[in-house]
Chains A and B, each alone.
Chain A
């Protein structure tokens, strides 16, 4: 049979003069049958100790836009299915938890687990909980313990998920850990790809998803020592910085708001791996250094502690 996406099917329903209401009564099984030629990749998107910034950034994806990601084949014959994502999903409470568990059970070994935020471990994980079992709140850490082993792959989205990030900043009041460190501690060896950034760039996220769909898990040569795809994190900010010529000419900004290389104001571009200067942010509109703000090293494992102070004044000790 010909391959038809959910979107095409909905369009066809519309052209045939039926209303969208028909879709609401259409048994899911029929939709599935029409789509069987398309490979489905269910996503479970687990928000841990986070600020939702990486979710908000992900929906800033331009091509594909978020509508394409949710409803279309993201790549010909590959369709994502967002089964659990707290920020956008319609269902709530037990119903949402049931959707999570059903996806876990039905798609063992086949779902992609996206972790956004760090894993709170203090006091047996009770500093962060979601849902309840037997009248007791379920620690977020327990959800990771349960869902991680059965995932096809885990994508740690954002620096909190990748390395602990700001959620684990000193003195780390909630005992937060990056997902990789937590899995190692728990002896879970499901493949993990880190997509750091505070927040992560939507292109890095979509690009990493596309890599898994099209090419499978990355070869060791394709990732760096911190589990990031070299495609996005293979070079320092400094190397391609749009302010690089200022430095070459010795024009150094001495106070905030001055034009010039921001190195003497504390820019961490030379120590930060990411392609921000080439890619830019928010549909290519701008990026941190483009707005006169020094790079703060947000894609790096030591962020934020090892990258402070973010901004230094020339009157202060260097």
Chain B
């Protein structure tokens, strides 16, 4: 039998940020995987000492693909710290701005970032070079999808326009503030939003969802492979109410936790971060409000800038699969149940397929339709002439937590204010969960687990690895931004 080989992919392209993946392949099957984030930025340290009102603009710049999610999570943390809740107009407009970018992000992810794993593009850069994989789509479908790839570029642009109607500009919106938003709803904005949304909903219904189903039919093995941990976590998204405690809010996509398919309670204080295999000085598991991070690029055994968030010490996957299953299993969302049943019956499959490589794409397409449909109702909830933003002042000392979902999964922001300034800022983002390295107990992160067992037909064209990686929609720039107020001494450096 041939000896095991190591396949190292650096850089992983068609993701957001800088990342590498190393796999050990034995007898054509991945035995072990290590996922590494390769860029450190240190955002939270930059916010220390700032006016708390600056953090929404800083936090958005974690990521140019999902800035609105960071803006909203950051605004929620501020809402809590300032002791306010958004006005009704503020709640609705935040949902619309976030929803529009959600559509943008998911269209970008399926067509621009992932689709080329399943069908080849034209023979011209940037579509070449490429891995010569087992592209299996029938020729006619291949050509259709290539056309849809092109159409999706302009649809994605339209989704950014949709968001900008109420966010000012995209990426990096201008209108989200504590207490709501700065923009007044007017009938002209409502009308243009409605009609742009209508075009996007047509595309989602008639192209995006059918395209993902068509790929799933051909790549049946992708519905079985790439299983992550059987533990799923989501904070939910899109507030339908404004309870001061975010964990008590009614949300379109529901907050929750699933273990082996069974719903469990969720308590945010069970979230910790571990750094045994990350390039930071060892700190032991720490809750985000006591996070401590001192960079140490050459640490023995460490291999990533990404930390390892865990819930009650266990590995959890976050993202579309968690959201779709938590919402569908709640039994309180007939729309989600209907869309999910429709997709599963098309594929003659059960809900377990959502745990797979293609299943994550299916879940993303399902929730895109679910959110876009809900947006068409929300846009009519405007209260003309009523306030868009609650009054507030900055307290001397306060703390707040924002829990939301970025398109990639559960997103938490935590702020501490002292002397009226930011004294600590911490964010745990979806890719930190999904692309985490091994934790203090040696448990591999979700993507590392999903890669184990994947067959690789040709070590020079390991497209099967890319398919699994892309199914998680990694956003590594988001994932590596952490550094805490006290962690500013220079870490020891050893050339590795």
Contacts and interface: CB of A to CB of B under 8 A. Distances in A.
Contact of B387 (A128, A257, A286): A257
B39 to A, nearest CB: 4
A295 to B, nearest CB: 8
* Interface size class of chain A, counting residues whose CB lies under 8 Å from the partner chain: 35 or more
Contacts of B488: 171, 173
A57 B101 CA distance: 13
Interface string A169-185: 11101100000000000
Nearest to A135: B8
Interface of A: 6, 10, 19-21, 23-26, 28, 31, 47, 49-57, 59-60, 62, 65-67, 70-71, 81-99, 120, 123, 126-132, 136-137, 140, 166-167, 169-171, 173-174, 198-199, 255-257, 259, 281-283, 285-294, 296, 298, 304, 308-313, 315-316
A139 to B, nearest CB: 10
Contacts of A313: 53, 393-394
B153 A65 contact: yes
B150 A49 contact: no
Given A50-B477, A129-B38, 13 more contacts: A52-B477, A56-B64, A87-B15, A90-B13, A90-B127, A92-B9, A92-B13, A291-B173, A292-B175, A304-B54, A308-B50, A310-B53, A311-B177
A226 to B, nearest CB: 20
Contacts of A171: 45-46, 488
B64 A199 contact: yes
B10 interface: yes
B181 to A, nearest CB: 7
Contacts of B266: none
B99 interface: no
Contacts of A294: 174
Nearest to A60: B157
B442 interface: no
A316 B127 CA distance: 54
Given A171-B488, A257-B388, A282-B160, A82 B477 contact: no
Interface in B181-202: 181-184, 192
B318 to A, nearest CB: 20
B382 to A, nearest CB: 14
A66 B116 CA distance: 17
B161 interface: yes
13 contacts: A50-B64, A57-B170, A86-B13, A87-B13, A88-B112, A140-B39, A166-B46, A173-B40, A173-B488, A198-B61, A255-B391, A309-B54, A312-B53
B64 A92 contact: no
A105 to B, nearest CB: 15
A25 B157 CA distance: 32
A15 to B, nearest CB: 14
B10 A131 contact: yes
B203 interface: no
Interface stretch (B118-126, B205-213, B368-376, B424-432): B118-126
A116 to B, nearest CB: 10
B143 interface: yes
Contacts of A10: 122
Contacts of A85: 126
Nearest to B113: A87
Contacts of B63: 51-53
B309 interface: no
A49 B41 contact: yes
Nearest to B11: A130
B445 interface: no
A93 B11 contact: yes
B358 interface: no
B16 interface: yes
Interface in B257-283: none
B161 A283 contact: yes
Given A257-B388, A286-B164, A96 B11 contact: yes
Interface stretch (B128-136, B214-222, B322-330): B128-136
Contacts of A282: 157, 160-161, 163-164, 169-170
Interface in B51-99: 51, 53-54, 57-58, 61-65, 67
Given A53-B67, A93-B8, A286-B168, A126 B297 contact: yes
B395 to A, nearest CB: 12
Contacts of B57: 296, 304, 310
